[in-house]
Structure 1
Amino acid sequence: LWYIKRISKSRKLQITARVLDIPIEKVHIHETASDKVPNASPTAASVGSDMNGLAVQDACNKLLKRLEPFKKANPKGKWEDWVRQAYVERVSLSATGFGIIHSETVDFFNGKGAELFGYCVYGSACCEVEVDCLTGDHHLLRTDIVMDVGDSLNPAVDIGQIEGAFIQGYGLFTMEEIKIRPDGVRLTRGPGNYKIPSADDAPRHFHVRLLKGSSNKMGIFSSKAIGEPPLFLGACAFFAIREAVRSFRQERGLNGYFRFDSPATPEQIRMACEDEILKKVPPLPEKGTYTPWTVTL
């Protein structure tokens, strides 16, 4: 949450400085609170930069319009000169803005109207994994990602977001398994038995590139959302593991269909790698004749 707030603040600082054409050092952002911005729009669905950025731009444009007469009267003056003169002449130096992504109404029942979303975010990922078919363990050797973020507001921040979202998705598709007892009690309730990625799980070689030549007329300064879209790219690691398991099976003449569910935990990988050892494991009794220890969701 702290990192998300830092990203949101960084982008607001940049947008304000860009619209007002002032050094970023002159821009200060206070903590968000309802006494400052009542009835604020939520930042769900990765629309924080879009809506808040447009709101900041709207407020800044109002201030610029009020300062325009003073800039014309003193074209060689500085920002401080124009603001000081506006204050002397009792011109309001505060403004509020509101951002909204304009779109047409969607008729869900009849399938008519505009597209459900204002724009789409595209990304592509390629993963190289190493799987130990004897233990079910795996290592993510290399990941290459190309992401369409429009005209990036801050490439360093966007690349960091992409890396973080990918790792989060990687954990979702390979580690985070929810298990409950037959009586409904959840067993995976803490870090002891519910695993998430650590720094050691990051790819040994991690390369992220932003797509060049892309723009977005719907976003602030032609940018695109970058919070949640890269998360699904973590599925690339899951499919790479599945293909490694498929290759192992084919070497043993097992060319047919096999079930491989997410998350790709070591247990799942090991059970899918059928070999002489696995053949010695006795099969489970018929369903309904026993009470399972856990139920996997």
Structure 2
Amino acid sequence: MSGPASGRLAADAAELTACVADALARRQHGDGFWREFALQPGASECWCTAWIAWCLAHASPTPVLRHALQQATRALLGCARPQGWGYNRGTGCDADSTAWTLLLLATAAPAQARAAVPVLLRYVDPAGDAHTFDEPRFGDWCGAHAEVTAVALLALRAAGCPPSTLAPLRAALCARAPVPFWWETPAYGHAWRAVALAGTGGVPSTVLEELDTWLLAQGGQDASVFDHALQLLALASIAPRHAELAAWHAHRLLAAATCAGWPGSCSLLVPPQGQGGNNDLPRGPHRDDGTMTSALALAALARWHRNLPAAA
């Protein structure tokens, strides 16, 4: 896709992201949190708020959006615990929620992000793998998960950690393709692996070959908004490679959108804990009400649009 058609697509993406950002900002609760997922431990507060706010930070700032991000930052700083942040204030802290919070703090409160780096590093083993939980009572949830390692690497880089701190996480991500654990779709692991590696020194050729094979196999296939957004994030991280495919995913997202965003299509899993864990929560996949999906799609479109040639 090139010429006038590409220019129209880019203009439509810019207009839509501004409209959706405003709509999502207005969904924020009065205490500064967004809330998603109706699971037995309650709705998510900390995790989803950090995710949504970080994604919204990709949009052009408006007074409404700036206020929403300030409120989210204040809410998250107010519920920090010695072990970091968790799914909500009543659940155990975990590496993923902590990493997403650091990503947001790095854009909104850099000093607090730097101060929280040791909290996130407690979940990272010497080989560079991030463990979602670090308490034995969580069983298999304490395992090393590439889906979490990628976000942890992004967060540590955003917080200003030196290459020596990032190197083990990069090596862990390069060593093997991600296997889904927390998400039904492999797109989550592939996308954040690509984004994290691209943002910390580049995607090695071996990983790029794996990513090419996976992305091209998905191209042209109908998928959820969540999957289209994740594939577009991956493609934006290796731009201008596969520019036509990236434009196709952007077009699919625009075609499915309204100014209020997109319907929920996150595919969160709650795996059995095993090894003495006792959770009996429904495995899922669990869907969001649309706020997290919409925030992610907004961020994907914004990153794709940022990489387009100036003439587009």
With normalisation by structure 1, the TM-score equals: 0.23
The structure in which a higher percent of residues are strand is 1
- Report which of the two structures shows the higher radius of gyration computed on alpha carbons: 1
TM-score (norm 2): 0.23
More helix by share: 2
